Structure 1
């Protein structure tokens, strides 16, 4: 099984290699940013992609969207430090087949690769339970009001990117990004981009 890891932390990539070293059938390659990851996917057609959400330029959500636009059958596992169930829900919304928290059991990643590689899906028990029993609190979270695309634009705004830069990064028009920013402010009940950035930081998007 060919597995592509896209993560900008060399220690994480090295840890994944060590973790999967005993899995003889897995051939691992890695990339450190979305652009390289997209090129490697196009060139190598891996069986499973493990993608970190927080990448240096565009996020793992955006990379997943691009990969699935190339190949709707691509098998993607989102990999993140954030175990907030909303991030897992947005990963599923984008089209990922699995979600694994870096703070969880390392064996979760091995099991996720096996199950997603076999055509299945995977969520760690704790995250699946959090989603299933989130109740009203889930809907009250500001992030629950945003789509994955809106979360991507919010993350880039919080990184100090201009609307023009964001439009270029997410392959969209300036007008679309500006309209999305306005819609986010309405959804979240804030008036300025500075307030959006503060909310992004408080919610763990930044």
Structure 2
């Protein structure tokens, strides 16, 4: 596998190269500017490009667009200091198969590159939940949830703890905790903090009437 690493910091390129050496057999090629990167991309046709957003002579996202225009099959993983969903969404729209923040674990970058090499997508787990929340409308979220799950979300939005919710509903704490786990799985989030944020931002959600088409267990 031939991988082109594009970053304007030598120490970052060297670190990524040492990490990706685990993908044996692999050939690592480096570039520090958009001009160098585009020239190497055209000449070597790498299997995967690992690309930073901020480069000394231009935008990594613009370089991504140029690569994809020249070769729609280009497989690019953005590796950036930005962990904001806005950047990840912009990268995906520009054609990136992967997005990993520099605060993520090395395993995530390896996984993103492996998946990109197969033509599959990967997004940093810390960002994926944010994307899931912003990509769906409240109505779509409601359609995934049961009456009890919506009820628990509303209590979370009111600042109730899991113990408080268990007492209010007259059920065991473990029952509420397991329900919250199911809700997180349905919404595509990993952290309880993200679940609470969704609950607060969507206080208007209401449980569907019993027996309606939207009722789920």
User: Is 1:25 matched up with 2:25?
Assistant: yes
Q: List aligned pairs for 1:43-122, cutoff 5 A.
A: 43-122=43-122
Q: Unmatched 5+ residue regions in structure 2?
A: 137-217
TM-score normalised over the length of structure 1: 0.64
Distance across 2 between alignment mates of 1:87 and 1:79: 11
Q: List aligned pairs for 1:159-170, cutoff 5 A.
A: none
Instruction: Call closer, same or farther: CA 1:135–1:121 in 2, change over 3 Å.
Output: closer
Report the RMSD for the aligned CA atoms in angstroms. Answer: 1.4
SS across alignment from 2:123:
coil
TM-score normalised over the length of structure 2: 0.60
User: Is 1:131 matched up with 2:101?
Assistant: no
Q: Deviations over 1:9-48 (max 9, x none)?
A: 0010110121122221221111001110000000000011
Distance across 1 between alignment mates of 2:38 and 2:135: 36
Q: Deviations over 1:120-158 (max 9, x none)?
A: 11112221111112489xxxxxxxxxxxxxxxxxxxxxx
Distance across 2 between alignment mates of 1:67 and 1:60: 10
Distance across 2 between alignment mates of 1:125 and 1:68: 25
SS across alignment from 1:4:
strand
Distance across 2 between alignment mates of 1:35 and 1:135: 34
Distance across 1 between alignment mates of 2:4 and 2:58: 17
Aligned length: 136
Distance across 2 between alignment mates of 1:7 and 1:131: 25
Distance across 2 between alignment mates of 1:23 and 1:77: 15
SS across alignment from 1:73:
coil
Q: Unmatched 5+ residue regions in structure 1?
A: 137-206
SS across alignment from 2:77:
strand
Distance across 2 between alignment mates of 1:54 and 1:67: 16
SS across alignment from 1:100:
strand
SS across alignment from 2:55:
coil
Moved beyond 6 Å, runs of 4+? none
SS across alignment from 2:54:
coil
Structure-2 residue corresponding to 1:142 = none
SS across alignment from 2:129:
helix
